[in-house]
Every structure is written in C-alpha cells, then in structure tokens.
Amino acid sequence: MKIHEYQAREILQDFDVPIPAGKVAETPSQAREVAEQLGGTVWAVKAQVHAGGRGKGGGVKLARNLEQVEELAKTMIGMRLVTKQTGSDGALVSKVLIQQGVNIVSEYYVGFLIDRANQSPVLLASSEGGMEIEKVAADFPEKIVKEYIDSSVGLTKEQAKDVVVKLNMDEKVREKAEKVLLGLWKAFKEKDCSLLEINPLIVTKEGEVFPLDAKMTFDDNALYRHPELEVLIDPSQEDETELKAHEAGLPYIQLDGNIACLVNGAGLAMATMDTIKLFGGEPANFLDIGGGASVEKVTAAFEIMLSKPEVKVILVNIFGGIMKCDTIAEGIVEACKVVSLTVPLVVRMKGTHEDLGKQILKESGLPIITAETLGEAALKAVSLAKEQ
Ligand code: GDP
Ligand code: MN
C-alpha cells in the first residue's frame, strides 16, 4: 500500500524526523492561504500522487509570490499528472502540498528497503541525491552506499555514523543526519514499510537536514496490525479493476497485456504468465483464484476480466488439488450464464476430478477451447490473441 508525500511527512514527524514546514491544500484558494500562513518568499507547490518523477513531469514547481502559488495549484489540481512511473494515463491530482522554500546546499538519496537476496532490510544511500537512483546505480555503482541491517538489532548508531561519513557530509551536520537516519529506520521498522525512500535528503544553508520528499510503501501483509494506516488509502490513486477485485476477495494485479489469466495458486499463476510470455504473448493480469473458489468468486473473476476491453482471450489454468476440477468447471459454466463470453476461452485443467470437469465443460455447449498441457494452452491463447 502506498501513501502520499503529505501523509508520509506526518508519520515521519511522529518519529522525530524534522521536515520543512508545509501543509496540504485541496483548492487553489486554500493553497494560497496555506502559503500565507507559512510565510516566506518562496514556496514549492507539489502535486500529490502515488508516483515518483513528479519534478520532471511538471508536478513540482516553485512559486515566488502568493498569486503564483494559487495559479500553480489551479493548474495542478484536477490534472492527470503523467510521470515515468504513472503510465500514459497519468494519476489524478486532487491535492497539492505547499511547502516553504528551502535553501538547498546539497542533496542526498536515502532509501530503506528489503533486500530479498540478503533476507534483511538494507539502507541505500548516495551523495547523488535528486537524481534517479536507478541511473546512479547503473552509471556510478561506486556512489551507492549499502548498509545491511540486522532486523533483530536494528540500524545501530555506528552504522548511521558510518553511512554519514561515507556520504561525505559536512562535519557540522553529521550528528543531525545520523539522527535523521535513525528516525527513518524507526519509522520503517515500526510501520512495517517495504520501502521508505527519501530523495532528496537535503542539507540547507542554515545547517538543517531535511527529507524534502518522502515515498512510503507498506507491506500489505502487515496492514492488519496498522488500522491507523488503512485509513490513509486513497482510492483515486488505485487501479479501479484492482480495487474491484480486492473487494471480491481476489488477489489480482492489473498488467498491460491482452491475455487474461485465471489460475489457482500464485506459483502456477506466475508460471502461466511466464509461459504466455515465452510464446510471445502478454498477460493482462495476475489472478489467483485460490484453493476454495466458489462459483460466485469464479463469476466475479470472469466479470472483472471481461470488463477490460483490452482482453482478447481468457486462459484458465487449473491444477486440481484441494480445488476440484469439476467445481471450477461448474463455476465457469455458471459464470458464462451471467456474463456473456465475448472472447475465446482456453481451458486447461489437470488433477482431481479432471474427467468430470472436462465432461461438464463439454456438455455445457460453450465454445471452450481445451488444452492438455500448459504449453499447449499458452500457445493457443497467444495465437488467438494475435488473430483478434
Ligand atoms: P519527485 O520528482 O516525485 O521525486 O518529487 P520531489 O519531491 O523529489 O521533487 C523534485 C525536485 O524538486 C527535488 O529533487 C528538488 O530538487 C526540487 N524541490 C522540491 N521541493 C523543493 C523546495 O522546496 N525548494 C527547492 N528549491 N527545490 C525543491
Ligand atoms: Mn523525489
């Protein structure tokens, strides 16, 4: 789960991480009022969307008077901001953060995330702040400091000190920077983040160390212990189809392709998507119907898949273990009574009650294309998608 920068700033404050003065606004006149309250002569007007790269996409602009604040807020609020991370549709801006201008002396990158290979959290830091970290990693890998964190101990003061020295920060601000790193770590750990990225972390002319941006992503599997975070969800930033699927209790991820997949088991779903790609096709989604799918769930899954005009073929791949093939077959037949099947349907099922399942599909009279192996099913789906 992702949250907005203005929300992340509030969480960071709870962990004693200092942030530059600022407040969120929902209308241009509110933006002006906020700027007036903040005082000063320069303000940053920042579009609040769940995506990075806002600066380059025109979502972060500086205003030098109150009229400009209002003007910028007016152009941003209501627009769909397109950045490198949003896709061509962009993301709706419904709020802007008005932040008091700061005198930046230097910019750094700081990110806490989970390193799967090392099975631990890791602190990534770089003196090349404000740039895309992926670019720094590709062009100057030596400029990235990597500090693995023992999660039973946490980020130690020594480690924080070491990182700050390696970043070559001015001696005068080192202590402050260490405190910021320790505060960020605490927030990352206690809020069960999968990512906490500060780009840039800045040092100001006045000798302050501030996160000037904050991207916070939480581990969805830990949300049950954070009711305070669940209320921060902004549905306008979520994919509509994914929201619908989650409401139906289906683990679903929207993708760009045209072959919709209905599979039982996350591993089999991944293998199905891989096989589609192997034959030159593109999956439209990840969908794990699970072990105990009911007819209602299968129907909901079909409705969701068929609601996307991009979908040219549906591929059902079932391994009958706990899930019995006849249950799924009944589900498919029932679903096709409720929703009209507008695209070809390829079904491959193996395992428990396989023969019964196949018989149900055959007797239904539905124009279902069957396949014996995953390879055959994927190949058929890919060629059908190309014909449409
Ligand atoms: P992102 O592009 O989505 O990562 O958005 P950021 O919050 O990182 O803003 C992009 C860039 O705008 C930053 O790297 C800064 O260089 C600049 N920026 C943001 N806020 C301010 C500010 O208050 N003052 C100044 N001078 N620059 C800012
Ligand atoms: Mn940034």
Residue 276 identity (one-letter amino acid): I
pTM tops 0.75: yes
Pocket test for ligand 1, best of 85, 212, 215 (most atoms within 8 A of CB): 212
Report every protein residue that has its C-beta within 5 angstroms of ion ligand 2.
199, 213
Domain 239-387: give its CATH architecture. 3-Layer(aba) Sandwich (3.40)
Catalytic residues: 109, 197
The pLDDT of residue 246 is 86
Q: Which residue has the higher pLDDT, 85 or 375?
A: 375
Give CATH superfamily name and number for 1-20+103-238.
ATP-grasp fold, B domain (3.30.470.20)
189 phi and psi angles, rounded to 5 deg: -70, -50
The whole-number average pLDDT for the span 131-155 is: 91
114 phi and psi angles, rounded to 5 deg: -95, 125
Mean pLDDT score of the chain, rounded to an integer?
94
Q: Could you give the residue range(s) of every CATH 3.30.470.20 domain in the chain?
A: 1-20+103-238
Can you give the length of the chain in residues?
388
* CA-to-CA separations, 178 to 198, 201, 302, in angstroms, rounded: 14, 12, 52
Q: Which residue has the higher pLDDT, 32 or 334?
A: 32
Pocket test for ligand 1, best of 213, 216, 217, 237 (most atoms within 8 A of CB): 213
Nearest ligand, CA of residue 107? 1
Residues near 107 by Cβ (< 8 Å), separated by ≥ 6? 129, 130, 200, 201, 202, 212
Q: Could you give the residue range(s) of every CATH 3.30.1490.20 domain in the chain?
A: 21-101
Q: Name the pLDDT band for 197 (thresholds 50, 70, 90).
A: very high
* CA-to-CA separations, 368 to 13, 266, 299, 364, 372, in angstroms, rounded: 57, 24, 16, 9, 13
Q: Which residue has the higher pLDDT, 136 or 287?
A: 287
Judge whether 54 is annotated as a binding position. Answer: yes
Nearest ligand, CA of residue 96? 1
The whole-number average pLDDT for the span 314-328 is: 90
Residue nearest ligand 1's atom 6 by CA: 213
Round to whole Å and give the CA distance between 283 and 232. 31
CATH number of 21-101: 3.30.1490.20
Residue nearest ligand 1's atom 12 by CA: 55
Q: Could you give the residue range(s) of every CATH 3.40.50.261 domain in the chain?
A: 239-387
Residue nearest ligand 1's atom 7 by CA: 213
The pLDDT of residue 340 is 87
Quick check: 293 pLDDT over 80?
no
Judge whether 323 is annotated as a binding position. Answer: yes
Query: CB–CB of 325/349 below 8 Å?
Result: yes
Q: Name the pLDDT band for 388 (thresholds 50, 70, 90).
A: confident
Q: Name the pLDDT band for 377 (thresholds 50, 70, 90).
A: very high
Cα(254) to centroid of ligand 1, in Å?
A: 30
The pLDDT of residue 145 is 95
